Amino acid sequence: MCNALLAFGKERYDEVLQIMLPIRHNLKHIGGSWAQRQVFNSTMIEAAVRAKQLPVAVGLVAELSARKPCNERLKLLLQQLQEQSNSGNSVDEDEETPAKRPKLQS
């Protein structure tokens, strides 16, 4: 996980996904608090968006939404990512910054 965070800091988002995707279902076994798992998930989703892998980002948010179906922010984020993915548009850093996307926490 440390290597993934270092890669994120170096803007190597594809590498972040290569490291994080295979271990995402084992987080409970690795340990850490709920908040730390949220940071892991948020980092992974943000890396997918920045790597212009919107289908991956949609899939990750859909996984979280399935576990937390009442989370309105996740629903909104999923809808926004699906719309971008369906339109074939990637996220334009000038138009949509991370601060403008809904946060994952409720």
The 10s digit of each residue's pLDDT in 61-99 is: 999 889 888 888 888 988 888 888 888 765 544 444 444
Q: Is 48 helix (H, G, I), strand (E, B) or coil?
A: helix
Task: Report the topology of domain 2-100.
Answer: 1.25.40
pLDDT of the residue at 90: 54
Tell me what percent of the residues of the chain surpass a pLDDT of 90.
42
pTM for this entry: 0.76
pLDDT of the residue at 94: 43
Cα–Cα distance for residue pair 103/97, rounded to 1 Å: 12
Q: Is 50 helix (H, G, I), strand (E, B) or coil?
A: helix
pLDDT digits (tens, 9 = 90+) for 26-35: 887 877 788 8
Is the separation of the CB atoms in 102 and 80 below 8 Å? Answer: yes
In the chain, what are the domain boundaries?
Answer: 2-100
